[in-house]
Homo-oligomer: A and B are copies of this chain.
Amino acid sequence: MAEGALTAELILGTTEDVLRRYGPAKATVVDVARALGVSHGSVYRHFPTKAALREAVARRWLERWHEGLADVAHTDAPAEQRLRDWLSTLFEIKRQKVREDPELFDTFATLMRENLAVVDDHVTGLENDLAKIIADGIESGDFAPRDSKVAARAVFDATNRFHDPIYAADWKAPTIDVAFSAVVSLVVSGLSVPD
């Protein structure tokens, strides 16, 4: 490949393929360079270290997987419905990914463990979605919390069995939907102003 044609985007896409093919323990920058037909120096001109490259893949994966989730936080639906929709959408995204390609999901989970700062940024974004929904619910008189940020963190923590990749093995259990509904009901009831 001509040097000028090599973009960061192309490297990231190829790195995903390489990670999928060799697994996160074995994939190297040399493998990525070879797959692209360039020298590993060319890759390093875009990403100074292997760690930087993997961090960029982690960030790209999170962004791509959660595309559209923020929109669910900003619809015109009442806050309670929006909260239920948002939590279901998040669970469904994760569950679908692990169902579609369990090995890729494991690779994803490994990259997340390696890049905790990336995960923190991502979680902050998710908590902002939740805080927006909760703040709207407070304003409309449906939700009771005084602090939408604290409540958002509590909702995120209380539902982690249904979004933290470490629980992926649980998500195919036949009882998982009942468990999810029970936690969502508990959380919604915990936020709601009594009728």
A186 touches B187 (CB 8 A): yes
Whether B191 and A194, one on each chain, are in contact in the complex, defined by CB atoms closer than 8 angstroms, is: no
The quantity of this chain's copies bound in the complex is: 2
Contacts of A179 in B (CB 8 A): 153-154, 157
Q: Find out whether the CB atom of B182 lies under 8 angstroms from the CB atom of A186.
A: no
Judged by a CB distance under 8 angstroms, whether A8 is at the interface is: no
**Counting CB contacts under 8 A, is A183 at the interface?**
yes
Q: For residue A186, which residue of chain B has the nearest CB? A: B190
Complex CA gap A150/B181 in Å reads 10
Alpha-carbon distance between A151 and B157 when the two chains are bound, in angstroms: 17
Beta-carbon contact of A183 and B195 below 8 Å: no
Q: Which 10 A-B pairs have the closest CB atoms?
A: A194-B194, A190-B190, A154-B182, A158-B158, A186-B190, A189-B190, A154-B186, A157-B161, A154-B183, A157-B183
Interface residue ranges, A against B (CB under 8 Å):
144, 150-151, 153-155, 157-161, 166, 178-179, 182-183, 185-191, 194-195
